[in-house]
A = this chain, B = another copy of it.
Amino acid sequence: MGDRIKLGMVGGGKDAFIGAVHRIAARIDGEYELVAGALSSTPEKARESGEALGLAPSRIYGDFREMAIRENRIKDGIDAVAIVTPNHMHYPVAREFLRRGIHVICDKPLTATLPDARKLAKVAAESDALFVLTHNYTGYPMVRQAREMVANGELGAIRVVQVEYPQDWLTEAVEQTGTNKQSEWRTDPARSGAGGSTGDIGTHAFNLANFVSGLELEALAADLQSFVPGRRVDDNGHILLRYRGGARGMLWCSQVAPGNENALRLRVYGEKGGLEWAQEDPNYLWFTPFGEPKRLLTRAGAGARDVAGRVSRTPGGHPEGYLEGFANIYAEAARAIRAKMAGEACPAEVVFPTVEDGLAGVAFVDACVRSSARNAAWVKLA
């Protein structure tokens, strides 16, 4: 395993959901050590959060720029930084670290706006440091296997992609109660971006569909709604998809669908077979070769491929979950970072979401908003 990668974190202080997830993901394989943080934009909270995590006082920062500057200068400064702030801060934070050659592992969506996304893509391209976007659902072993099966032609040419991501946590106007921080920034266009459900979860669905199908979206027609009175962003989106090459699809994202906790689900159909996968039961992949019985492929069990086994930690029947899938993004990043540190090429098998994937995601949100404003007209991804 060798020395651990020294990791910093921006955002993710107390009460944050995704910061804690990133920290666990970084710990699972023992590849990282969290040594520095600017965990909150509120200095007092930054300090308390840093102490609670056992950071040395000198490595607790109240400001991410200060952190980038100092960590870049000191001996044993961080190798990489995890960015887990609200979306609008991804770009300014990432820029500071990328410019100083510090690798960035950034939560999705890439940015709150398309111009920011383009600028960040440019900065990342110019940097020698890596940029990894945590579209964590691509880390699930059976998602990896689904992708390989499509790429191998086991489904034949893809015709139809059905992807959906319903949740129910915004069924009521919880962001107006003053008690739910998560909902506040995620429904605030200034911090989250112009897309609500489209940005928060639609981007995941879009990314997952691309990742598995290997298709590239050409145009979409989106009908977005804000069902909850007073909500400033969409909380439900119905989107028609046209992929290059002729495949078609539908994407549904919703945060107002009671009975759905986090029900991301992908179905891909080709000339020769179909695949189904559901995030809430991630160890299973259903595969039907046309004309044959449906098969239940299980992670690391009968029917699993090396590509799934490579990112599994337990045998079949010992379920892995969200955190292991997330950890796979960190593990892949670690492999890439170590190769970089060693001056070697990254192994071909290493796969993680890139800044280009993130740019595509923000362009997807932008296209959804533009299409919906034009009565669900077809628009191309910018």
**Interface set of A (CB-CB < 8 Å, partner B):** 1-3, 17, 20-21, 23-24, 27-30, 52-54, 155, 159-160, 162, 164, 167-168, 171-172, 221, 223, 225, 227, 236, 238, 240, 242, 248-250, 252, 254, 256-263, 267, 269-274, 276, 279-283, 286-298, 301-303, 313-324, 375-376, 378
Contacts and interface: CB of A to CB of B under 8 A. Distances in A.
Contact of A53 (B1, B250, B254, B317): B1
B27 A23 contact: no
A276 B263 CA distance: 13
A48 to B, nearest CB: 13
B249 A238 contact: yes
A261 B21 CA distance: 28
Residue picked from A20, A52, A301, most chain B C-beta under 10 Å: A301
A303 B259 CA distance: 12
Contact of A322 (B30, B294, B319): B319
A159 to B, nearest CB: 5
7 contacts: A162-B252, A258-B272, A260-B274, A260-B317, A313-B323, A314-B321, A314-B323
A226 B188 CA distance: 42
Nearest to A51: B1
Contacts of A271: 171, 227
Given A171-B290, A282-B319, A296-B294, A20 B313 contact: yes
Contacts of A168: 274, 288, 290
A261 B315 contact: yes
Contact of A259 (B3, B273, B281): B273
B314 A322 contact: yes
Contact of A315 (B1, B256, B262, B376): B262
A257 to B, nearest CB: 5
B240 A316 contact: no
A269 B296 contact: no
A270 B171 CA distance: 9
Given A321-B319, A323-B313, A376-B221, A259 B280 contact: no
